[in-house]
Structure 1
């Protein structure tokens, strides 16, 4: 990494959490909002397809989440990988340029929004941080395996590190404030992320989020005690938690994580709908609705989460409700 690049200090994440009253707000579902603006993302690249075709929509969605009160923007790179872009006939140079664009569009949106509000008397916004999203290997496969952790016998630690390494390097060089490893399904990939951060000597803070399909364990069936033991050894991972799991799992998982780690806890569940990875469609939730998301978010904050947002099928209205509820109580 270039020595002349100015990186955010670790304390800046802590500062943001403090300025936000002890719990910062992460943004919400990205693909959901892109589709509302007319984007067609039924594709193995998913929302990353818009990096090629409609980057202006990505910036629009970032701005909508900032206006809703998000303190952290997550970049549109979850499904953006070099192999994925190469499979579409793009060159390595073009693929890396699109990864870089995912961060730069988010930074541009953040800076535009902050310039517009920072001198407005009485505004209630914090200067947001940008987290570069690093989706799991299963997200690249686009076969639902990020919700099972079943990568097969040919996928080992070195293969996972090789898969993530160049993408991570390019994303960090683009200048985000944070790294967000998302929807990690097993201990092996968590270990790969931790080792990569050390090997590449990454100087910006990161979080690692797992999913869960049973509310007790990682999707692979491995215990979170096993998974967090690997992460707790790293001083480069500053937060750990859960994303894209049903909301009714979250409170008990926060309590479990508090027993297993001293790192900050980040949670951004989905709306409660269930993604059918093979059929490529959402199945409706029978026990949860977006209208009471902020009530649960308050309980998650009171249980000890320091970063809270939404994942698939949540919207700017979800994030606005969380942000406004938190501000009422600070």
Structure 2
């Protein structure tokens, strides 16, 4: 398969990734304070997921991330579903994103199409094992499985996302270096025609949450052609610019960043506290572009087309 990120970046300064799913679902009345988090809406309110995806396309997003970060077969079965029902929900997540894409883009005028990405993408979200634990581990990375155990945990979801037609995988909020190595190895072995971006969860601009130096992790993935972009997400706005500079120093891959909006997240209660002192995406995005970022997301308070050139 063609590397669609590189293809879309050929004549553009950057690509716009969508923003938070759970926050927008909560605005639509979905209760995400449970182990399934935003994946709850796959069961209770799938129309809200399509509406969120469509709203981001309307705001200028070039890439939609499927609502599968917390969705996995094991968790669905723990809730009393059959394996088949869990599988169907993951496929459904891709179909909801694609419906939003089709519904929105078929209404665009030609001049609008010309300024958008040549092929708006759907990225299949693959969250870390720590997200399944639902205890904040994706912000600590303090767990250790064998490579086979990581394979066994991630394979079924990735197979379903691939079967449903995602354009690439989004390995996101990854705090554990060994887990990311396993994901890249499985991508090469089991999905040789697919691509992915790798986005780390970091505790500071130099360090993954599990203590691995960020530059060490970045360098490791330089040899993986299927890793189309690399970066960080779900971290503070202040961490982004220095993290981009650290990443750019050791790789030529496109850099992906999609931080939090400045509010403070409590992973135990899965709630956010407003931070009125935080800088805005409007102020910071030009700095991130200048530092070398090419895929940027996470913003909901500005029109993304302001940096989609």
What TM-score bracket applies, with the shorter chain setting the length? over 0.9
Query: Quick one: structure 1 residues 198 and 38, their matched pair in 2 at CA, closer, same or farther if it must change by over 3 Å?
Result: same
1:293 counterpart (256, 281, 284) = 281
Query: Quick one: structure 1 residues 243 and 122, their matched pair in 2 at CA, closer, same or farther if it must change by over 3 Å?
Result: closer
**1:9-28 → structure 2 map (5 Å cutoff):** 9-10=2-3, 12-19=4-11, 21-28=12-19
Normalising by the residue count of structure 1, what TM-score does the alignment of the two structures yield?
0.89
RMSD over equivalenced CA pairs, Å: 1.7
CA contact (8 A) 1:117 1:123 kept: no
The C-alpha deviation readout for 1:14-46, integer Å capped at 9, x for no partner, is 232234x22000000110001111111111001
Aligned equivalents of 1:191 and 1:121: distance in 2? 39
What does residue 179 of structure 1 align with?
169
The C-alpha deviation readout for 1:104-154, integer Å capped at 9, x for no partner, is 1111111111111044678743342110100111111110010000015xx
Normalising by the residue count of structure 2, what TM-score does the alignment of the two structures yield?
0.94
Aligned equivalents of 1:279 and 1:61: distance in 2? 23
Unpaired runs of 5+ residues, structure 2, are none
Aligned residues: 308
Aligned equivalents of 1:209 and 1:231: distance in 2? 11
Query: Quick one: structure 1 residues 122 and 139, their matched pair in 2 at CA, closer, same or farther if it must change by over 3 Å?
Result: closer
What does residue 24 of structure 2 align with?
33
What does residue 224 of structure 2 align with?
234
Query: Quick one: structure 1 residues 194 and 121, their matched pair in 2 at CA, closer, same or farther if it must change by over 3 Å?
Result: closer
What does residue 122 of structure 2 align with?
130
Q: CA deviation at 1:198?
A: 1.2
What does residue 295 of structure 2 align with?
307
Query: Quick one: structure 1 residues 222 and 9, their matched pair in 2 at CA, closer, same or farther if it must change by over 3 Å?
Result: same
CA contact (8 A) 1:187 1:226 kept: no
SS in 1 for 2:232: strand
Unpaired runs of 5+ residues, structure 1, are 1-7
CA contact (8 A) 2:33 2:269 kept: no
Aligned equivalents of 1:277 and 1:70: distance in 2? 27
